[in-house]
């Protein structure tokens, strides 16, 4: 089967033929891939940025946002009449945090935080391919085909559409009527983040912020949130801009960028008791001025990806038509070109790679 | 000034002239009344139903859902430039839980739960009148006049529009995508309750249930919630009706009736881990079958009214146009006729009594 | 192997030889049993009380509180160097909620609430035997042998020692300095419950209540809690007794009995905002007077057993010597005699059945 | 009356005679001071460190940790039979966050976070004096004299004994059996903090850490916590030291210092999902490495002082003998000498200034 694989750090992926995985055994499921989302993390991995903290054994097929159809199941996979049961042809999204199933994190439902977890596209071969072997049916979310959702819709939900959901859910008790929530960075994660801010915000006013003037214009025109703010040039004035809109500061900031600039902005606009949730990984360090942080009782939360149930909730929103997507589709053979586009900020929303027929 | 007062249990109110309260002193504020909501509790009080548990010293001006304009302030009331400051003419809603301000409940913001609280229309003269004296400016919510809201809009928010808000807020951590919330009883409280279920539900599917076929039809036509269910006749079939809609049971029930029937219905439809919040007071006793309750880990919460901050949140929703009202306005002189209408279920939504000019 | 099995409802168990389970396959583990706790639920099952709600396919080996040593493992069980890994001879407690692993409840760590769960001693052969086959190593808690704990200590922790822990954990946010918590019923569950009330109570005053004068005396002498109350005769006076001790009512009641009487007592003593958690199953119905419940904003929580992580926490307390046990040990051959003793209230604390060597 | 007042930044306090406050009016209460705790914040104020963020109008009597006896009450103060009622001679602790009573923070019980708050020893004359005028009886906590507590015991509870309590309460849901909590800095705040970690820790293992070898020895000898760690020299080895004790990292760190060093230590020892609460203000900036923070889902909470109800809870612990004090008493006339001792780290625990008779 054709797969896009990393052989050497800082070089393009090699699109090459490798053997299709063998028959699934036990709880394993073989999935025919219908779409795999392209993620900034792929760039970091290819660049070797995380080689020490998240080592990848080369060569490896990248791609951790995967959806498709069940091709074959191992003999311990239950039949469709049972919980979690699957049969050939089922539409599935792949939950990518393949935890050990036995530790405290796994046993509290956070398999993606397992210290022993495997991840497709990192420890195991991932989704830039035609087929992928999933170690247990318990990491698949079966999606009703009558929903009209396709693997291309589903793939980005497993990461870009999941990460900001968990982030906002962590602070939803701080939201409600009269509260203000700001989402910084309105690209891949932030595009979904804005929508979750409306849904989980319980009547909060939602403000989007981005440095890309064009993106700001698009989202303003689409009326996706209450206000969209361009912060391209005069960052120190962000507090004034916010105050002009809301008459006060904000209660929650979701930073989908995580750069030094955006974090500074967050602390410029937070109200007393306010919370910052960081999901973006562009920066190196978060710096917080101590005395104001204490006097204002700020709360800073870091959030990583999401868990299986959260993925189900996100897919439920998609099934009910409560979130919209912003997806560009590309064939597997063009992956290196698309990675370049992502690197250069030329992807609007999320790029999804689809294997050729 | 003209006031509608109870002199004897089980007799109509007397609409009579009484002296206008004197000049406010200290933190007191005299409010010129613009509207006072009529509540089932008034019927219970008049009927003497609660004479032992909530004694009223007769005669007394009833009416606890009050809004109007500041007429005069005591000399310890801050000027409008300070927090809580007020000046003649300000539009205000009256928070009716006049707690002692010093006990644990008051100090946690739940003044309405204070063991020593006074209440307009119960311990103190209430709002079926032209003026009302409020013991401290700290029980008033000032509303921006540019909001377009009137005292007639605001009055029901102080109780009918507040009680279901607190009820749903208590269980909002159980709501979200894929969850189902049912509001039973779509009249005064439930009309607001449905709307809060949408706002606080974070993507939950919202179902309204009522035994009044006409009301069910109106709300269905207004598309206020995802589904409306008439439960007029075949109560035991309610589980089937719900399952037909949702494919499963429900996660939260807000019972705005509190009758034996509605509570039975609630336990017929709750999922494992489900919660029932009771705010309606029509019944005498809540009966819960023990073994199923334990096996399903049900949670039953009773909820009373709301606190000052919750009232501010509800008014914020009204200011932002996020909730709609269902109000019929009547002159003070007709109050006994309107009480009869309420008794006979002839009021749609909430009746508001307005003093004659 | 010798097992104690139910063949017919309302008849004694048959102590008989049945074949030892075969070699464990896949993730299965064969456990040599070291002790199995005797539970009131066994009496209910034998009596056929729950035949409709929790059907048992006869004959069946009863016993759901089980601990022992690993005898053999299937070929998918990890080696001890990995998470959850096991090897022959390991000391283990058996978590008894054998969920499907794929549903929302399992994926949030509450496998005991899974709609498709299997249970030892109910759906599968249980612990009144010499060996038991556990379907996956992920339902075992490995216990360090240097802890000094034995299977006889561990067995009751898997249910009697787990159920009140979860119950109190559900309301621990209501506890703290100045709060009062009452545990009703100081036998099997309540004996552990009192201790958890001290540990999780965060400075709360802990009161035990029981109708058995002898038990009250023992616990008073052992100084296990701040106060112990005998409520043998004058139930309506319970409020006075409590007020004499605390100067006020109580904030949380943990009812380990669940009888009509004890629930009535709970509502006699709860403060405004108070919570009742019911774990005992002796009664049929919980009756709550509606108007007082609303005026006082009571909440009532039903709680069932506990989850895997909670079992680990309970075992951690035992390892650290923070809880004491109250166990009587009996040989498997005497099980019917011991069941009679339990039925007649002659067991102090928890009886544990041990297979003969 | 004799008072210790700041006239000029960076100069000693002037101990001088000023007029005793006049008769209390309205809700005011005049308190005869029995003891006032000396706080590092006093040094910061005297040094002018916070002159821009927390401006003090000079001259001013410092001292914000105050307790004493009611000397006289205004005519709106309720009689002792009512909630919050007071009479001459009552033993009282002064809650020092004198909020406006009308804003969202005040109405949720966090008067100390009010944007318009006044503070004794900062905006108003404080406690290094013989008498203090408190603006309303609602900021006093009446303490039963039979408790045996004295103003000298009570004074430090209003800040040093309150701040770490709130800090730990904010993360108590993360604590319990099997969890590890570390308190860094075992002086004024930390001395209380360790004890709260035991009480609110719900079975957590509690570790104290300090750079002062002598203090570490004293606390080790007093067996106040499970482990005490001297971190005087080899900070990078702190992870090893912790692992040696616990076999893993820690779940919660309470940093009562807030220096660059201690915050670095915190992130060296936190487990995945761990929380850092910062209450100490010795540093300027908190620096957090971004990628590890996200991968580990850390949360960082800043906490300031405490609210009225939390002060009541802390005093309740003292009344029940559940916390011990570490107090040195000095006469008002020696205050400048004692400030020097505090500056030089020569105070063990908390110094309390007592007016001469």
Give B115's contacts in chain D (Cβ within 8 Å).
Answer: 83
Indicate if the pLDDT at residue D44 is higher than 60. Answer: yes
pLDDT tens track for C145-155: 999 999 999 99
**Do both B171 and B288 map to the same domain?**
yes
- Contacting partners of chain D (3+ CB pairs under 8 A): A, B, C
Which residues is A17 bridged to in the sheet?
Answer: A2
Mean pLDDT of D265-284: 95
Q: In angstroms, rounded to a whole number, what is the distance separating the alpha carbons of residues C88 and C73?
A: 7
* A290·D50 Cβ contact <8 A: no
DSSP state, residue C103:
S
Interface check C26 vs A, CB under 8 A: yes
Answer yes or no: do D62 and D172 share one domain: no
Q: How many helical (H) and strand (E) elements, i.e. helices and strands, does chain D have?
A: 11, 17
- The CATH number of whichever domain residue D173 belongs to comes to 3.40.50.720
Bridge-based pairing state of the strands A327-331 and A299-302:
unpaired
Phi/psi zone of residue A88: left (φ > 0), alpha (ψ -120 to 50 degrees), beta? Answer: beta
**Which pLDDT value is given to residue A349?**
83
Same domain, C15 and C119: yes
Smallest Cβ distance to D284: which of A283, A290, A301?
Answer: A290
Q: Maximum CA pair distance of chain C? A: 62
Residues of C in contact with D200 (CB under 8 A): 176, 202-203
Residue of B nearest to C272 (CA): B113
Residue D47 contacts A, CB cutoff 8 Å: no
Q: Are residues D297 and D167 in the same domain?
A: yes
Task: Count B/D contacts: CB-CB distance under 8 Å.
Answer: 60
**Structure tokens, D305:** 């002082």
Query: CA-nearest residue of chain B to C257?
Result: B290
Contacts of D116 in chain B (CB under 8 A): 82-83
Smallest Cβ–Cβ distance between D107 and the set B82, B104, B109 belongs to B109
| R_g over Cα of chain D | 20
Chain B closest-CA separation from residue A205 CA (Å): 10
Question: What φ, ψ does residue D312 adopt, rounded to 5°?
Answer: -60, -40
- Asked if residue A205 lies in contact with residue B209, where contact means CB atoms within 8 angstroms, the answer is no
Q: Which pLDDT does position B138 carry in this prediction?
A: 96
Rounded to a whole number of angstroms, the distance from the CA of B188 to the nearest CA of chain A is 21
Antiparallel, parallel or unpaired: β A299-302 and A270-278: parallel
C343 — pLDDT class (breaks 50, 70, 90)? very high
> For the residues C187-201, what does the mean pLDDT come to?
95
Same domain, B215 and B254: yes
Q: Is A172 on the interface with B (CB under 8 A)?
A: yes
Parent domain of B311: 2-159+306-354
Residues of D with Cβ-Cβ distance to B100 under 8 angstroms: 78, 82-84
How many domains does the structure of chain B reveal? Answer: 2
Question: Distance (Å) from the C-alpha of residue D315 to the closest C-alpha of chain C?
Answer: 9
Domain boundary among D270, D285, D302: D302
Last residue in a domain, options D302, D327, D343: D302
A76 interfaces chain C, CB cutoff of 8 Å = yes
Tell me C98's DSSP state: B
CB atoms within 10 A of CB D101: 22
> pLDDT tens, C16-66?
999 999 999 999 999 999 999 999 999 999 999 888 878 899 999 999 999
- For residues D303 and A297, give the distance between their C-alpha atoms in angstroms, rounded to a whole number: 5
For the ranges B36-40, C304-308, C345-349, D139-143, the lowest mean pLDDT is seen at C345-349
Rounded Cα gap, residues A111 and A102, in angstroms: 9
Residue B322, phi then psi, degrees to nearest 5: -90, -10
pTM confidence score: 0.96
User: What φ, ψ does residue A214 adopt, rounded to 5°?
Assistant: -65, -45
Q: Residues of C201-213 as b/e, b for ≥16 C-beta within 10 angstroms? A: bbbbbbbbbbbbe
CA B349 to CA B328: how far, in whole Å?
8
C81 touches chain A (CB under 8 A): no
Going by pLDDT thresholds of 50, 70 and 90, the confidence category of residue C200 is very high
Residue D30 Cα distances to A316, D70, D97, angstroms: 62, 6, 17
- Tell me what pLDDT residue C328 has: 94
Neighbouring chains of A at 3+ CB pairs within 8 Å?
A: B, C, D
ipTM computed for the complex: 0.95
C-alpha torsion angle, residues D250, D252, D258, D263 (rounded to 10): 40
Name the residue facing B76 among D26, D115, D309 (closest C-beta): D26
Two tokens at C42? 């066994």
C288 interfacial to chain B (CB closer than 8 Å): yes
Of D258, D294, D303, the CB nearest to A278: D294
Residue-level pLDDT at A36:
98
Considering the domain architecture, whether residues A213 and A262 belong to the same structural domain is answered as: yes
Are A320 and A350 members of one domain? yes
Higher pLDDT residue, D48 or A83? D48
Tell me A141's DSSP state.
E
| Per-residue pLDDT at A84 | 85
Nearest to C64 by CA among C116, C22, C118: C118
Q: In this complex, do C302 and B301 lie within 8 Å of one another by their Cβ atoms?
A: no
Judge contact between D279 and D164, C-beta under 8 A: yes
> Measured between CB atoms, which of D26, D307, D309 is closest to B26?
D26
Q: How many residues does chain C have?
A: 357
> Are residues D223 and D324 both part of a single domain?
no
pLDDT of residue A82: 83
CATH number at residue D22: 3.90.180.10
For residue D131, give the H/E element and its range: strand D131-134
How far is it, in rounded angstroms, from Cα A254 to Cα A164?
8
Token output for C240: 């006075």
What is the predicted pLDDT for the residue at C233? 56
Mean pLDDT throughout D274-287? 95
Q: Verify that B143 and B249 share a domain, yes or no.
A: no
Parts of chain B with a pLDDT under 50 = none
How does pLDDT run along chain A (357 residues), one tens digit per residue? 999 999 999 999 999 999 999 999 999 999 999 999 999 999 999 999 888 878 899 999 999 999 999 999 999 999 988 888 999 999 999 999 999 999 999 999 999 999 999 999 999 999 999 999 999 999 999 999 999 999 999 999 999 999 999 999 999 999 999 999 999 999 889 999 999 999 999 999 999 999 988 899 999 999 999 999 998 655 668 888 999 998 899 999 999 999 999 999 999 999 999 999 999 998 999 999 999 999 999 999 999 999 999 999 999 999 999 999 999 999 999 999 999 999 998 888 899 999 987
Contacts of B323 by beta carbon, 8 Å cutoff, 6+ apart: B161, B192, B195, B196, B199, B314, B317
Please check whether residues D106 and D186 belong to one and the same domain.
Answer: no
Which residue in D113, D273, D303 is closest to A113 by CB distance?
D273
The pLDDT of residue B318 = 98
Does C77 lie in the same domain as C7? Answer: yes
Q: Which residue of D has its CA nearest to B85?
A: D102
Cis ω before B59 (30° cut-off from 0): yes
Q: What percent of chain C has pLDDT over 70?
A: 99
pLDDT tens digits, D118-134: 999 999 999 999 999 99
Instruction: Report pLDDT for A45.
Output: 94
For β-strands D227-230 and D250-255, DSSP reports them as unpaired
Tell me how crowded residue B186 is: count the other CB atoms within 10 A of its CB: 27
Q: Does residue D106 share a domain with residue D220?
A: no
Which other chains touch chain C, taking contact as 3+ CB pairs less than 8 Å apart? A, B, D
- Give the CA distances from residue C254 to residues C87, C173, C227, in Å, rounded to whole numbers and listed in that order: 39, 14, 15
Q: How far apart are the first and last CA of chain C?
A: 11
| Nearest CA distance, A278 vs chain D (angstrom) | 7
């Amino acid at each position: 089967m054709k797969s896009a694989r990393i052989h050497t750090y800082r070089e393009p992926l090699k699109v090459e033929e490798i053997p299709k995985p063998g028959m699934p055994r036990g709880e394993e499921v073989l999935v025919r891939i219908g779409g795999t989302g392209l993620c900034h993390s792929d760039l970091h991995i290819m660049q070797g940025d995380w080689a020490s903290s998240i080592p990848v054994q080369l060569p490896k097929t990248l791609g951790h946002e995967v959806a498709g159809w069940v091709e074959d199941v191992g003999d311990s996979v239950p039949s469709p009449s049972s919980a979690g049961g699957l049969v050939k042809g089922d539409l599935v999204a792949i939950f990518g945090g393949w935890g050990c199933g036995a530790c405290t994190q796994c046993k509290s439902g956070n398999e993606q935080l397992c210290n022993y977890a495997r991840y497709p596209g990192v420890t195991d071969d991932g989704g830039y391919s035609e087929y992928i072997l999933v170690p247990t049916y318990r990491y698949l979310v079966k999606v009703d085909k009558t929903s009209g959702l396709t693997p291309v819709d589903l793939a980005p939900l497993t990461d870009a559409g999941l990460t900001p959901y968990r982030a906002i859910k962590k602070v939803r008790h701080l939201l409600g009527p009269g509260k203000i929530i700001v989402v910084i960075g309105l690209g891949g994660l932030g595009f979904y983040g804005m929508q979750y801010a409306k849904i989980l915000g319980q009547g909060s006013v939602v403000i989007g912020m981005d440095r890309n003037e064009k993106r700001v214009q698009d989202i303003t025109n689409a009326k996706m949130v209450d206000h969209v703010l361009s912060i391209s040039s005069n960052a120190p004035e962000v507090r004034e801009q916010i105050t002009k809109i809301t008459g006060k500061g904000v209660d929650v900031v979701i930073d989908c960028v995580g750069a030094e600039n955006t974090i500074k902005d967050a602390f410029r606009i937070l109200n007393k008791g306010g919370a910052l949730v960081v999901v973006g990984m562009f920066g190196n360090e978060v710096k917080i001025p101590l005395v104001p942080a204490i006097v204002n009782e700020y709360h800073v939360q870091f959030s990583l990806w999401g868990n299986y149930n959260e993925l189900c909730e996100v897919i439920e929103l998609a099934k009910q038509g409560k979130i919209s997507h912003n997806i560009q589709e590309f064939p597997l053979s063009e992956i290196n070109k698309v990675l370049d586009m992502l690197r250069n900020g030329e992807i609007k929303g999320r790029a999804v790679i689809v294997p050729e027929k």
